Structure 1
Amino acid sequence: MLCALTAVAALLPTGGSAQAAAPSLAFGACPDSVPRPPAPDRVECGRLTVPLDWKHPSGPRLEIAVSRVPASGSPAERRGVLLVNPGGPGGSGLPYAVTKRAKLPASVRRSYDVIGFDPRGVGRSAPVDCGAMGGLFDSPGTDPVPVGPRAERSYLGSLRHLADDCAAGAGTRVLPYLSTEQTAYDMDAIRAALGEPRTSFLGVSYGSYLGAAYAARFPHRVGRMVLDSVVGPWDWYHFDVLQSRAMLRARDTFFAWAGAHAERFGLGGDAAAVRRSYLRVRQGLAARPVHGFGPAEFDRAVYRALGRTERWAGLADGLGAYLAGGSPDALRPASAFDSPESRNYEAANRIVKCADGPGPTPRQIVADIRRIRRLDPQPVLTGLEASACAYWHHRPVRRTPLGSPDAPPVLLVASAHDPVTPIEGARRLRQVLPGSRLVTLDDDYSHGVFASRGNACVDGAVAAYLVDGTVPAADVRCSGPGLPVTAAAAPSR
């Protein structure tokens, strides 16, 4: 059931943002889940009541949890508010105001109140629960790569069960309104409640999609907008398929890298040998899962590791440890996949994606999996989250609008070889954001760039834009770090 729905609160204007009638946001203490910044900085939290459906503001309502870390500079330095979103869909933004702000350049911290918020359906903003999600949280899970007609039918059946579980858990009347477009209206309500004329925004990964949706609905309310690790203007299912192909490219790069460091990892002396070692691990776990760790859990671990090159050594060490002793413990994530936070994330992820536009057909899903398997018989399909939309209990007739020619210039940031949000997304999104510029980190293979990769070129260009409004005259190319440098050879096994 959707939590925190209420019929109380002042009505907000129909079809747009809250203006003079918007309730103010009263800030106070934050929940324990929000980290405290070092003194003298402080974080404060509040709640804002918004309509479930912005087209019918007199109907049911929900509460949005908001956090704020005030700007540390003088009043003359202040540039307004910088809303931030960590991605997903399903990522909690309430603590992100603290954790991301700590990594921002000092000039940005001095200039902006950093505002975090849990999007509707997430965290402390009416969190959704999809229950068992068609067996997604089973341990060990079913092999997520179906081979043959029988396995394909079973795969589609699990997607149908997932959709049924979300309809039962969240409620069919709520599902259409946990969309990116509705969240964009929530963002503008936060702006209005804070008394700000413009919204500056930093969105990472899914946050780039959310920012583009805000620009589509409120182009004249956009201040300075940075969209990092950009999701392109495709439907979610199309994006997921593109990502699965990018994951294959990243994994091939990982194989070659690990082979070039054979003395360190012992997985083989070239990409082909490392691939064989990788397949032995996966096949072994598929034949005999260890303490609930099977092929589904393995693929999730690989998916997570491929997204950041600093995790590659851990993945290679984990493969070696399994081959040496049969234990997958080094591959296990630190946090439990079936924790309440993870369950909420996975539920919100599917619900938002399926509310944002039409889903695929079952026939299309099977055809695409077969195409991917022709590229590589053992792909990583963990990111095919929008496949469940084939059986969703409501069918959006249009995609979420993204971008606007009336928005001011936006700064897009991308890693040249990001496997999670391939750079093609940034190139495509800029076409619906005229005047935007693209900052590319070349020779980089990770997800998340600004105030994340420690690159002075990227961080300097983005800080100049946010603080001074400096839009680069042309696209910016920054030199990246290349592939990871490994430590000394591991102890002999």
Structure 2
Amino acid sequence: MPTPPRRTVLLCTLAATVALLPALPAQAIPRTTAPPTPLRFGDCPASVPTPPTPERVECGRLSVPLDWHDPQSPHIEIAVSRIPASGTPAERRGALVVNPGGPGGSGLPYAVTKRAKLPASVRRSYDVIGFDPRGVGRSAPADCGPMGGLFDAPGDDPVPAGATAENEYLGALRTMADDCARQSAAALPHLSTEQTARDMDALRAALGQRRTNFLGVSYGSYLGAAYAALFPHRTGRMVLDSVVGPWDWYDFDALQSRALLRQRNTFFTWVAAHPERFELGASATATRRSYLTARRELAEHPVNGIGPAEFDRAVYRALGRTERWAPLADGLRSYLRTGNPDPFRPATAFDGPDSRNYEAANRIVKCADGPATTPHRILTDLHRMRRLDPQPILTGMEASACAYWHHRPAHRTPLGSPDAPPALLVASEHDPVTPIEGARRLRPLLPGSRLITLHDDYSHGVFASRGNTCVDATTAAYLTDGTLPTEDVHCAGPGLPAVPQQTHS
């Protein structure tokens, strides 16, 4: 298997090429995509998992202009993966492009991991196509350097209290924006979702497909809606799972923060219902008190590089999937008993290359997609959040950095089109990461679309993720035969998670 080029070389190449790009108005973007050279597939980098035999995964690279305003400008390469359909020629439905979310998520390995969870009928029908969006992974990866201290361990408290702390909080956001401009100034205007949607259409043409069939999860739903806006007549069967609504990114982040507070209260109540198992209190109030004690102690005395920022990141991650609730509660109990904060340590190093690229791409894409907020709005919303709860979770407020961004987009990313075919939207009733309001708000922008709701569910990511037969069978039928349900579909969910048996070391 060939050794992939070093990430630093890609970054240097990106910086060198984009410095020559002119800035043209948005309306100069061509409405069509020139046919690219057909993709040639070969071995994949080691970061792409090997699917089970007899399936195979193959990888290629697609050359696209960094600036779709000017297709003759210098090009970058998009890393692509493919797992061929396993069915007969009669069963084949073409290619299904998948995106895992973010922005900043790598799709190159996701094609393998997601395909393994898809219903057999979908695996038999489609070549599953993954790709690293521009700025991500092996597609001209973005870099923002230290990002205003984001990777410091322990990090500063992400919930400032008082004027001095608030000014320091804003200062860190300004420094983050400065760091991104210093490291990736020439790339900032060109790593938008709209540009990535145009890459997707070039990918469609390179694969020899008339239309793009697409499965997008979380941010992937936003990317899919952007593709439908730009290329409605080339949009095929589209599944948008855990939908990001048509808000500016800062407004979405604020909505998510409020949903996380609701989810955390549900978590406290769930933990309190099992006092013998978790020993954090027999009421939601007592459980909350244990939680606040752990956070306060880590804020006052960080241990082994873990402080309030790391604690909040662990909580943010756990609240999004109910199978992580018991480990979070066990970690709280363990820390309060022993003072060992390791349960709050991320599974992968936060300062690793993948994490650094993810965080950089996340901010750059969000800030390239539309209007920015203001420092005054950030502080106003911070005060509002603290009135709702003195200890909010602000980990997902990535678009706050856009208040100081060095490149301001001229327009917001368009989403949906009345000329696009109806899509199938999927949502969990109590998803705190992409609240169900997003699906309800996006649907009118894709007229005729249907919504599958998994009721009594509290997790992020639904289709081929929650193991729900109603969701998976309905979605698989749409992908394989193209028929939307005649009306919205309501599926019974699992409810609050069962409590796993306690294990003591």
Task: Check whether TM > 0.5.
Answer: yes
Q: Alignment partner for residue 210 of structure 1, among 212, 215, 223?
A: 223
Aligned counterpart, 1:401: 414
Matched, 1:126 2:140: yes
- Distance of 2:131 and 2:145 partners within structure 1: 24
Matched, 1:93 2:100: no
Could you say if the C-alpha distance between residues 44 and 265 of structure 1 is closer, same or farther in structure 2, counting changes exceeding 3 Å? Answer: same
Q: Does the CA-based 8 Å contact 2:306-2:344 persist in structure 1?
A: no
Letter in 2 for 1:135: G
Which structure 1 residue ranges, 4+ long, deviate > 2 Å from structure 2? 1-8, 16-19, 487-491
- Distance of 1:156 and 1:54 partners within structure 2: 33
Letter in 2 for 1:143: D
Q: Alignment partner for residue 83 of structure 2, among 48, 63, 69?
A: 69
**1:59 Cα deviation (Å)?**
1.1
**1:486 Cα deviation (Å)?**
0.6
Letter in 2 for 1:352: V
Matched, 1:157 2:171: yes
Q: Secondary structure at the match of 2:186?
A: coil
Matched, 1:15 2:30: yes
Q: Alignment partner for residue 245 of structure 2, among 224, 232, 238?
A: 232
Letter in 2 for 1:258: V
Q: Does the CA-based 8 Å contact 1:16-1:54 persist in structure 2?
A: no
After TM superposition, the score normalised by the length of structure 2 is: 0.95
Letter in 2 for 1:342: S
Could you say if the C-alpha distance between residues 76 and 3 of structure 1 is closer, same or farther in structure 2, counting changes exceeding 3 Å? Answer: farther
Identity %: 74
Letter in 2 for 1:42: R
Please list the CA deviations of residues 416-441 of structure 1 after superposition, one character each: whole Å capped at 9, or x if unmatched: 00000000000000010100000000
- Distance of 2:501 and 2:232 partners within structure 1: 52
Aligned counterpart, 1:26: 40
- Distance of 2:446 and 2:422 partners within structure 1: 7
Aligned counterpart, 2:23: none
Q: Does the CA-based 8 Å contact 1:91-1:345 persist in structure 2?
A: yes
Within-5 A mapping of 1:128-277? 128-170=142-184, 172-277=185-290
Could you say if the C-alpha distance between residues 7 and 270 of structure 1 is closer, same or farther in structure 2, counting changes exceeding 3 Å? Answer: closer
Structure 2: runs of 5 or more not aligned: 1-9, 19-27
Matched, 1:473 2:483: no
Within-5 A mapping of 1:283-432? 283-432=296-445
Q: Does the CA-based 8 Å contact 2:454-2:492 persist in structure 1?
A: yes
Aligned counterpart, 2:116: 102
- Distance of 1:351 and 1:489 partners within structure 2: 42
Aligned counterpart, 2:24: none
Q: Which moved more, 1:480-489 or 1:266-275?
A: 480-489
- Distance of 1:36 and 1:399 partners within structure 2: 39
Q: Alignment partner for residue 53 of structure 1, among 67, 87, 90?
A: 67
Letter in 1 for 2:362: N
- Distance of 2:279 and 2:49 partners within structure 1: 40
Aligned counterpart, 2:25: none
Structure 1: runs of 5 or more not aligned: none
Letter in 2 for 1:123: G
Please list the CA deviations of residues 441-468 of structure 1 after superposition, one character each: whole Å capped at 9, or x if unmatched: 0000000000000000000010000001
**1:198 Cα deviation (Å)?**
0.6
Q: Does the CA-based 8 Å contact 1:254-1:312 persist in structure 2?
A: yes
Q: Does the CA-based 8 Å contact 1:16-1:185 persist in structure 2?
A: no
Paired residues in the alignment total: 486
Computed over aligned residues only, the root mean square deviation of the Cα atoms, in angstroms, reads 1.4
After TM superposition, the score normalised by the length of structure 1 is: 0.97
Q: Does the CA-based 8 Å contact 1:17-1:189 persist in structure 2?
A: no
**1:17 Cα deviation (Å)?**
3.9
Q: Does the CA-based 8 Å contact 1:159-1:387 persist in structure 2?
A: yes
Q: Alignment partner for residue 456 of structure 2, among 443, 452, 461?
A: 443
**1:173 Cα deviation (Å)?**
2.1
- Distance of 1:428 and 1:236 partners within structure 2: 14
